[in-house]
């Protein structure tokens, strides 16, 4: 059980254990004192409580919420990172940071694997690890990173979904036939297939970043954090030439969520199952690989830093290789 009392303008929390010294901590707010006491009591009930020092002050809830407020908004994938950390918060929020051990993290991993895919769990563990490292380095939270000592789920193989025969035709028929009201989906799909640009790269594209004469689109921010110049095919230039100019300078003046819903609706109307917009990047890269056998040139177009990632885009048959080697 726990008790709380006001002392010298602050709140003192005391947690009592049978035949054991009481655990005491002091906070500015009663709510923080109650949260800490609940976390300590839960650890005692689970049998994982160990005497510690200042790290007892911080619950996972406290650290996650501060990280969400101060650090996550500065990330490019802020929404996704926040979503992952809220999943962590739902499972571990009431524990103190100091109680996080490899055993606790392993239990979290195993429980999450029962509900979501291994790739999701792996990304959540990476987010948790980054947060704990930041808390230790920047905020002085005295704890080692327990995620480091835990076996990680095997990373799943990347999707290799390509447009099957007739799917592209059906998709374009839907987009051209007015069955999807959002007018930006069709040109975005066409440009994605011509340039292998990601959805975020397309939606962030500005008219001032396009040099029609040189047939180049300049990307200021990409997934890997580097700028990139994307060569534009003649068809890509034709698509861009047919677009109206938005007053704010955006090539595609549409929100990510609105675009996502419109693309999903188009796939449904075209009776195309399990097609993500990012799959168009895979399709485009595979097509470009046929025209650009030099992997360095292909990487310059797609922006891949790891050349091993590009190996799966070269769909060369053994019979073709036999003809080449003579």
Task: Select which of 42, 52, 134, 304 is catalytic.
Answer: 304
Q: Which of 134, 223, 276, 312 is catalytic?
A: 223
User: What does the alpha-carbon distance between residue 133 and residue 62 come to, in Å, rounded to a whole number?
Assistant: 15
Q: Which of 14, 152, 278, 287 is catalytic?
A: 278
Binning the chain into helix, strand and coil, the percentages to the nearest 5 are: 55, 10, 35
Half-sphere exposure of 22 (CA within 13 A, CB side): 12
Question: Is 84 assigned a catalytic role?
Answer: no
Handedness of CA 118, 119, 121, 122 (dihedral sign): positive
C-alpha to C-alpha distance for 124 and 92, rounded to whole angstroms = 12
Active site residue 223: yes
Tell me whether residue 324 is one of the annotated catalytic residues.
no
Closest-CA residue to 81 (of 141, 129, 150, 138): 129
**Residue 83 annotated in active site:** no
74 burial type by CB count under 10 A (0-12 exposed, 13-18 middle, 19+ buried): exposed
DSSP 3-state of 26? strand
User: Among this protein's residues, is 198 annotated catalytic?
Assistant: yes
Residue 281: active-site member: yes
Q: Which of 198, 199, 228, 282 is catalytic?
A: 198
> In this structure, what are the phi and psi dihedrals at residue 139, rounded to the nearest 5 degrees?
-110, 0
Q: What is the C-alpha to C-alpha distance for residues 174 and 59, in angstroms, rounded to an integer? A: 51
Query: Which distant-in-sequence residues (6+ apart) come within 8 Å of 227 by Cβ?
Result: 218, 219, 220, 221
Which residues have a catalytic role annotated? 198, 223, 278, 281, 304, 313
């Amino acid at each position: 059980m726990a008790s709380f009392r006001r002392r010298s303008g602050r709140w003192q929390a005391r947690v009592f254990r049978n035949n054991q010294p009481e655990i005491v901590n002091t906070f500015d707010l009663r709510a923080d004192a109650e949260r800490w006491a609940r976390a300590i009591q839960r650890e005692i009930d689970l049998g994982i409580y160990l005497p510690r020092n200042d790290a007892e002050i911080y619950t996972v809830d406290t650290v996650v919420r501060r990280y969400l407020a101060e650090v996550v908004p500065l990330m490019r994938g802020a929404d996704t990172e926040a979503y992952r950390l809220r999943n962590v918060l739902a499972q571990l929020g009431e524990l103190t940071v100091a109680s996080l051990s490899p055993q606790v993290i392993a239990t979290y991993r195993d429980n999450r694997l029962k509900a979501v895919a291994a790739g999701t769990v792996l990304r959540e563990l990476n987010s948790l690890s980054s947060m704990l490292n930041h808390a230790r380095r920047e905020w002085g939270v005295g704890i080692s990173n327990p995620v480091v000592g835990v076996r990680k789920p095997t990373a799943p193989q990347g999707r290799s979904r390509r447009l099957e025969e007739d799917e592209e035709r059906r998709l374009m028929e839907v987009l051209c036939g007015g069955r999807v009201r959002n007018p930006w989906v069709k040109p975005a799909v066409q440009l994605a297939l011509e340039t292998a640009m990601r959805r975020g790269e397309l939606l962030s594209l500005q008219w001032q970043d396009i040099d029609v004469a040189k047939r180049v689109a300049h990307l200021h921010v990409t997934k890997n954090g580097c700028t990139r110049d994307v060569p534009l095919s003649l068809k890509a230039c034709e698509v861009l030439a047919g677009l109206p100019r938005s007053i704010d300078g955006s090539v595609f003046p549409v929100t990510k969520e609105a675009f996502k819903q419109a693309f999903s609706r188009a796939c449904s109307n075209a009776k195309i199952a399990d097609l993500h917009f990012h799959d168009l990047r895979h399709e485009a890269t595979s097509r470009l690989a046929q025209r650009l056998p030099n992997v360095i040139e292909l990487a310059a177009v797609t922006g891949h830093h790891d050349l091993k990632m590009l190996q799966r885009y070269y769909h060369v048959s053994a019979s073709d290789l036999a003809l080449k080697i003579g």
